[in-house]
Structure 1
Amino acid sequence: MPGAGGTGIRVTRAEDGTVRIAAPARGPAFTRAVLEVAGGVLLWPVLGTTALPSAEIHDPGRAQQWLWAVHGERAAAAVHALAAQPPGAAADVTPMEPETVLAGQAARLALGHWAARWWPASYPDGIPALQPDLLGVELAALTHRCQQLFDDPGDQPDGDAAELLETHQAALAPLIRWWQAARESASGPVRQLGRVLTLLGDAADCAGLEGDALRRLRSSLAEGVPHEVRTPFDLGGLFARSGDHALAAGERLAAGGRVIARGAGTNDWRRYPPGFVDSAEDAVSWAVSAVGARRRIEVEVVADVAAPSGGVHLAAEVGVEGGPPTRVSLARRGDVWAGRADLDVPASLPPGTRMEVGVLLAGFDPGPEPDSTIADGRADRDAVRAFVRHRLAAAALPEPQDTYTQPFLAEIAAAAADAEEDF
């Protein structure tokens, strides 16, 4: 975790009764790592560094089990005192160096959940996807390591190590092979692999989980000796990845009619779930054509390599000069989401007509960003891309000592697979 210390932090009692440590995190949701814990929520900025997370505490009593370890005893005492004060009460607290490693592990766990939700995988941008099962089992291990943060997994989706392990146990067999090969060659993240597997074994034992993959895990941990190692070892091919992806290899936009306008839309990551749309800034493209007396808009969106091929339909939202939006249903076709609809626009669009096109999933969508933040949203997305590229580059280096900056195993595997593909 970024080093603790620095100037004082403010603890306040908000109007809604929550107790807050430091200021609420600013910026789009994809720039914040969030962890739902006992009695509250912890938030870290992904871009940049911070000594401590901000916190929104709705149950100070439950939160006391982790407050002293993450924020220090003075902050924990301030939260306890302010819980009995009226809204608006505040206290300035000098932060203390955390006495346990929980603060660093919590920050890493939050970053892992951020990666599961916001990692900007993109074929045209050259950012490989993270293998979800491999990331999921490491999150299960970290969750088990951070049990002090949680008291009721039913209330805290981030706190159920057993559920994460059961959901992602397909990664166990290749993970064991990776550990065995790394031990045999004394290379790679041997210690990290060993820690993750040991924690997974403990989590499975605590939850009473069974199954072939878990029996093999227990056997491998008990033996502690490499066996069945494939030679040569191919890390890049060890974890299953989606097939080849050809950029927008569908029909040409506006295949019929006379094109009267075309452009690129806004790719707001907040408006659809992960694994649906390629994260590139120019993934959304559109064209308006004249077909007789009608005006038709066609939209194509580069699909994520893991995007569902049926049963789910995205939509494009089209606005002309700030007018009421038109929805265009999109269906998966090859490696694009595509759709078309008639559009109520002038027969000849004047030069400079403002067309706004974005992609969303109905029922998931929080709504578009305000006009004033669209440019900032792109800058933030570019900063996130730079951040993950830096982490992927670091994945090829020896294990760093800092817990927070240490690459996840999924990042190491993605970097290795990407390097092999480039070669």
Structure 2
Amino acid sequence: MTEADVDVHVTQDGTIRVAAGPLGPAFTQAVLDVAGAVLAWPVLGDPSLPVAEVHDAGRAQQWLWAVYGERTAAAVHACAAGESAGVRVRAAMTALAGSVARLGFGHWAFRWWPASHMDGIPALQPDVLGLELAALTHRCQQLFDDFGDQPDDCVAELIEEHQAALDPLIHWWRAASQPADTVRHLESVLRLIDEAADSAGLDGQALRRLRSSLDQRRPVGTPVDLGALFARHGDYALAAGDPIVVGGRVIARGSGTNDWRRYPPGFVDAAENAVSWTARALGARRQIEVEVVADVAAPAAGVPLVAEVRVDGGQANRVSLARRDDMWTGRADLDVPAEAIPPRIEVGVLLPGFDPGPGALDEVQGRADRDAIRDVARRRLAAVAQPLPHDAFAGPFLAEIAATSTGEDF
């Protein structure tokens, strides 16, 4: 157990904040909704205790002492009772705090993992990650209650949504010629899933096969090919075709901004140069073509993904994009003043209704943070080959182990 100083104080809106350290922009935070509070950890930098925004101190007391220790829990109680406006206390990094931080990071990875064919960062298999999140959520049940306002307390939903990975995980667990720590990790996840499913009253053939497998002594089968076990079955392939418009005089071309906050996960390759554009002169007309490298899981149709185009800092115009093989593509006429040759063109990609709007993050710092997130992903994948700590849940996620072994498109 380690310790760290935290500030506990009442904010202007009456929320009690337990601040263990600074937080960056949204895509660099691991966030978890728990009973009476929201917890957040910085993904960049050294691991630390979470920052807590406590909106119901009574409900939060059931876990505060177990995550931060008794002194922090008492300080929150004093603030809630009006006995203190703020105090600095010594908090403990408990075993539960480590599990909760891992759960928060897992939810972050589900939302923000920078999967990129262009950058060579493999995607995490969503069903494998989803089942491990179900196991971790069950392990961290002390943080949740029955009020139903905590979207991250979703064990049953996670198991039902991602149970397609149950049989492959069982096969992986039973396979021969693999490290003992990986076997221990797999068994921990599978047993927690079984316990969670039983507690939630879930049933089904896959869950029955899981129970039957766990009731037996682990039989050792043949070696497993994780690439075959978790391979994606799709037709994604980097296209190398003609531009979407042939002819005309090119007056400008460049790369756009790939701001991950502006669209949901699984839509666009996370590489910084995934957005490109070309401006052409077609007689008296000016036209822009936009190409965006799609994520391997990107929907094929029915999604109003758009590019936002500005010329010389003017009004933003939106260009509808459609999925074509491995690309989102679109084109539209462009209003370019005669004196603006070559024009200064800014292009970004977004999903209307999801987009929080530009300008909330300095673009230079935003790019630096995105590069830092890519470094986090690469370091984690590189560490997969390292021996796991005694606690199986302290190492890489099963989805990260699988990602380093599949590599079907890298």
Confirm whether residue 355 of structure 1 aligns to residue 351 of structure 2: no
Q: CA deviation at 1:9?
A: 1.4
1:243 deviation in Å? 3.4
Equivalent in the alignment of 2:132: 138
Say whether residues 1:331 and 2:327 are aligned partners: no
Which whole-Å CA distance do the structure 1 matches of 2:180 and 2:322 have between them? 45
Structure 1 residue 249 displacement after superposition: 3.4
Q: 1:407 Cα shift?
A: 0.3
For the 8 Å contact 2:20–2:49, the answer to whether it is kept is: no
1:52 positional shift: 1.0
Query: Of 163, 170, 173, which aligns to 1:176?
Result: 170
1:286 counterpart residue number: 277
> How much does 1:291 deviate?
1.4
SS in 2 for 1:21: strand
Distance between the aligned counterparts of 2:384 and 2:30, measured in 1? 20
The corresponding residue for 1:269 is 260
Deviation at 1:399, TM superposition (A): 1.4
Structure 1, gaps ≥5 residues long: none
Contact kept, 8 Å, 2:251 with 2:341, in 1: the verdict is no
2:31 maps to 1:34: yes
Deviations 1:159-186 (A, max 9, x none): 111111011000000000000005x756
1:192 paired residue number:
185
Shift of 1:97: 4.3
Q: Percent identity?
A: 65
- Counterparts of 1:346 and 1:51 in 2: how far apart (Å)? 52
| Contact 1:235/1:416 (8 A) holds in 2 | yes
Once residues 111 and 251 of structure 2 are traced to their aligned partners in structure 1, the CA distance between those partners, rounded to angstroms, is: 38
Partner of residue 141, structure 2: 147
1:233-265 Cα shifts (integer Å, max 9, x gaps): 211210141436433434315423211111000
User: Which residue of 35, 60, 65 maps to 1:63?
Assistant: 60
Query: Would the alpha carbon gap of residues 235 and 50 (structure 1) be closer, same or farther in structure 2, given more than 3 Å must change?
Result: closer
Question: Deviation string for 1:16-62 (max 9, x for gaps)?
Answer: 11000016743221111001000010111011114311100100100
> Which residue in 1 is equivalent to 2:370?
381
Q: Which residue of 2 aligns with 1:120?
A: 114
Alignment of 1:146-165 (within 5 A): 146-152=140-146, 154-165=148-159
Contact 2:274 2:293 in 1 (8 A): yes
Equivalent residue for 1:4?
2
- Deviation (angstroms), 1:96: 2.9
Alignment correspondent of 1:407: 396
Is the Cα–Cα contact under 8 Å of residues 296 and 341 in structure 1 kept in the other structure?
yes
Please point out which of 363, 373, 381 is paired with 1:392.
381
Within 2, Cα distance between the matches of 1:282 and 1:153? 44
Q: Give the one of 218, 227, 250 matched to 1:236.
A: 227
Query: Where does residue 103 of structure 2 map in the other structure?
Result: 109
Structure 2 counterpart SS, 1:126: coil
Gaps spanning 5+ residues in structure 2: where?
none
Contact 2:293/2:328 (<8 A) preserved: yes
| Displacement of 1:192 | 0.4
Using the alignment, how far apart are the partners of 1:103 and 1:391 within structure 2? 20
Residues 188 and 392, structure 2, Cα contact 8 Å, conserved in 1:
no
Residue of structure 2 equivalent to 1:366: 356
Indicate whether 1:249 and 2:276 are aligned.
no
- Which shifted more, 405-414 or 186-195? 186-195
**CA distance in structure 2 between the partners assigned to 1:222 and 1:274 by the alignment:** 37
Distance in 1 between residues matched to 2:233 and 2:127, nearest whole Å: 13
Give the drift of 1:13: 0.4
Q: Which amino acid aligns with 1:68?
A: W
Deviations 1:248-290 (A, max 9, x none): 4343154232111110000000000000000000000001111
**Structure 1 vs Structure 2 CA RMSD:** 2.0
Q: For 1:148 and 1:278, how far apart are their aligned partners in 2?
A: 37
Against the structure 1 CA distance between its residues 123 and 198, is the aligned structure 2 distance closer, same or farther, given a 3 Å change threshold?
Answer: same
Code of the aligned partner of 1:202: E
Deviates more, 1:232-241 or 1:301-310: 232-241
| Number of positions where the alignment pairs a residue of Structure 1 with one of Structure 2 | 410
- Write the distance in 2 (CA, Å) between the matches of 1:113 and 1:326: 34
Structure 1 counterpart of 2:358, one-letter code: P
8 Å CA contact 1:316–1:357 kept in 2: the answer is yes
Q: Indicate conservation of the 8 Å contact 2:236/2:325, yes or no.
A: no
Aligned residue for 2:86? 90
CA distance in 2, matches of 1:405, 1:150: 21
Contact 1:260 1:348 in 2 (8 A): no
- Residue 290 of structure 2 corresponds to which residue in structure 1? 299
Q: Cα offset for 1:321?
A: 2.1
- Does structure 2 conserve the Cα–Cα contact (< 8 Å) formed by 1:314 and 1:330? yes
Q: Measure, in 1, the Cα distance between the counterparts of 2:43 and 2:179.
A: 33
Q: 1:75 to 1:50 in 2, by over 3 A?
A: same
Q: Secondary structure at the match of 1:375?
A: helix
Give the structure-2-normalised TM-score: 0.95
d(CA) in 1 for partners of 2:179, 2:325? 43
Structure 1 position 401, deviation (Å): 4.2
**How far off its partner does 1:113 sit?**
0.3
CA contact (8 A) 2:185 2:393 kept: no
Report if the CA contact (8 A) 2:262-2:349 is conserved. Answer: yes
